Structure 1
Amino acid sequence: MLISLQNVCKEYQLGEVTTTALKDVNLEVKKGEFVVVLGPSGSGKSTLLHVSGGLDQVSDGKIIVNGSEITKMKSSQLTNFRRKELGFIFQQYHLMPNMTVFENVEVGARLSRCPLDVQKVLKEVMLDEMLHHFPYQLSGGQQQRVAIARAIAKNPSILFCDEPTGALDEETGKLVLEVLQRVNEEFQTTIILITHNLGIAQMADKVIKMKSGMVVEVMQNPHKVRASEVSWA
């Protein structure tokens, strides 16, 4: 398994109040899978992404990613592991405003010992004719695709996507999903995408449903659809 979560719990302490974000989560993700995590606000799906990607520590349990137990790593080790192995895409694009499209993606490539070719990646995300544009010259969907290209250029084992279409309209959102689908198929990149949009689950290999910090259902999708065919919600 590429990712294994074993009896994972996560609690947050604010004064005398303890909030349980994850409760006894057991989960496995195979290499090359496109996984969609569904759940309402407060269900724990963002926390699941953060602990699986080493962005946050667990309160209890074990997480193994690509053969390494990240729950035993120190902060400096985690930083190095994320740089080498993982890619992240968030709802906010976090692009460098004074850098071109090519330069923004090149930043991601420089973090890796075995990066992908920047121009090839930009062609995959359909931005190869905008190499010299700056972020302010791009639409929201185009900026999100630059963020995807930057994450992919470092050639990560796993790409974590936190509501990547949350701020986009249907047409633009489907274009971004199409890019992610192509990245998954072209580079065999494992993708874990969290969303509240039920329709996006139609394009996943595996669907994980969460409620109140627990995984309530895990199912394989027998009939995946193309991103363009997703029922938008």
Structure 2
Amino acid sequence: MVISIQNVHKQYVSGDIKTTALKDVNLEVKKGEFVVVLGPSGSGKSTLLHVSGGLDEVNDGTILVSGQEITKMRSSQLTDFRRKELGFIFQQYNLMPNMTVFENVEVGARLSDRPLDVTNVLKEVMLENLFNQFPYQLSGGQQQRVAIARAIVKNPSILFCDEPTGALDEDTGKTVLDILQRINEEFQTTIFLITHNLGIAEMADKVVRMKSGEIIEVKQNLYKKRAHEVSWT
């Protein structure tokens, strides 16, 4: 398993108020799987992504990622592990405004010991004609594709995607999903994607449903749709 989550609990404390974000969560993700986590706001899906990617700590339980027990790592070890092994795509693009498309992606390549070729990756996300453009000159969909390129140029074993189509219209969103689907298939990159969009689950290998901090269902799709075929909700 590339991700193994075992009996994980997570609470947030604000003054005297304790909020349970994850309650006895267990999940296994195989190498190369496309996993979609569904749930309403407050269901715990973002917290699950954050603890699985080493962006947040758990209160109890064990998480292994690529064979490494990240729940035992110190902060500096986690930072190094994320840099070398993991890629992240968020709803906010977080691009460097004073850098070109090529330079933004090159930043990602410099973080890795085994980067992919920047030019080839930009071609993969259909940005080969925009190398010298700056973020303010791009549409939202183009900026998201730059963010994807920056994440995958590191050649990560796992790509964590936090609502990557949340700010996009249907056509642009499906273009982004098509890119993620091709990355998953061509590079065997494990995709761990959270969303409230039920239609995106139609293209997953594994669908995880969450409610109130718990996983209430895990199912395998017998038939996976292509990105352009999914319902848009």
Please tell me the TM-score bracket, short chain as reference.
over 0.9
Which residue in 2 is equivalent to 1:58? 58
Aligned to 1:227: 227
Determine the structure 2 residue equivalent to 1:40. 40
Give yes or no for the alignment of 1:11 onto 2:11.
yes
Whole-angstrom distance in 2 between the partners of 1:226 and 1:152: 20
Distance, in Å, in 2 between the alignment partners of 1:132 and 1:14 is 45
Structure 1 residue 186, shift from structure 2 partner: 1.2
Deviation at 1:17, TM superposition (A): 1.0
> SS of the residue aligned with 2:119?
helix
> Number of aligned pairs?
233
> After superposition, what is the alpha-carbon deviation per residue over 1:89-125, rounded to whole angstroms, capped at 9, x for unaligned?
0000000111111110000000000000111111110
Query: CA offset at residue 185 of structure 1?
Result: 0.9
* 1:129 CA drift (Å): 1.2
**What amino acid is the match of 1:208?**
V
C-alpha displacement of 1:79: 0.3
Report the AA paired with residue 109 of structure 1.
A
C-alpha separation between the residues in 2 aligned to 1:160 and 1:153?
Answer: 14
Query: C-alpha displacement at 1:52, in angstroms?
Result: 0.2
Task: String of CA shifts for 1:22-69, please: whole Å, max 9, x gaps.
Answer: 000000000000000000000000000000000000000000000100
Moved more, 125-134 or 35-44: 125-134
CA–CA distance in structure 1, aligned partners of residues 180 and 214 of structure 2: 26
Indicate whether 1:105 and 2:102 are aligned. no
Query: Percent sequence identity over matched residues?
Result: 80
Task: Compute the displacement of 1:215 (Å).
Answer: 0.4
Query: Matched residues in 1 for 2:125 and 2:182: separation?
Result: 8
Please give the alpha-carbon distance, in whole angstroms, between the structure 2 residues aligned to 1:96 and 1:155. Answer: 20
Report the AA paired with residue 214 of structure 2: M
Give the match for residue 174 of structure 1.
Answer: 174
Instruction: Please tell me whether residue 74 in structure 1 is matched to residue 47 in structure 2.
Output: no
* C-alpha distance after superposition, 1:155-207 (max 9, x if no partner): 00100000000010101110110111111111111000000000000000000
- For residues 205 and 27 of structure 1, what CA distance do their matches in structure 2 show? 14
Structure 1 equivalent of residue 201 of structure 2: 201
CA distance in 2, matches of 1:4, 1:174: 29
d(CA) in 2 for partners of 1:232 and 1:35? 18
Secondary structure class of the residue paired with 1:119: helix
Q: For 1:81, what is the secondary structure of its paired residue?
A: helix
One-letter amino acid of the structure 2 residue matched with residue 50 of structure 1:
H
Q: Which amino acid aligns with 1:114?
A: R
Shift of 1:13: 0.8
CA–CA distance in 2 between the matches of 1:70 and 1:10?
A: 15
Mapped to 2, the partners of 1:33 and 1:102 lie a distance apart of: 29
TM-score (normalizing by structure 1): 0.99
Stretch of structure 1 that moved more, 181-190 or 44-53: 181-190
Distance between the aligned counterparts of 2:143 and 2:65, measured in 1? Answer: 29
Q: Distance in 1 between matches of 2:152 and 2:31?
A: 16
CA distance in structure 1 between the aligned counterparts of 2:179 and 2:87, rounded to whole angstroms: 15
The letter for the 2-side match of 1:196 is: H
User: Which TM-score applies when normalising by structure 2?
Assistant: 0.99
Alignment of 1:142 with 2:142, yes or no, is yes
| Counterpart secondary structure, 1:49 | helix
Taking only aligned residues, the RMSD between alpha carbons, in angstroms, comes to 0.5
1:114-193 alignment, distance < 5 Å? 114-193=114-193
Which whole-Å CA distance do the structure 2 matches of 1:205 and 1:117 have between them?
28
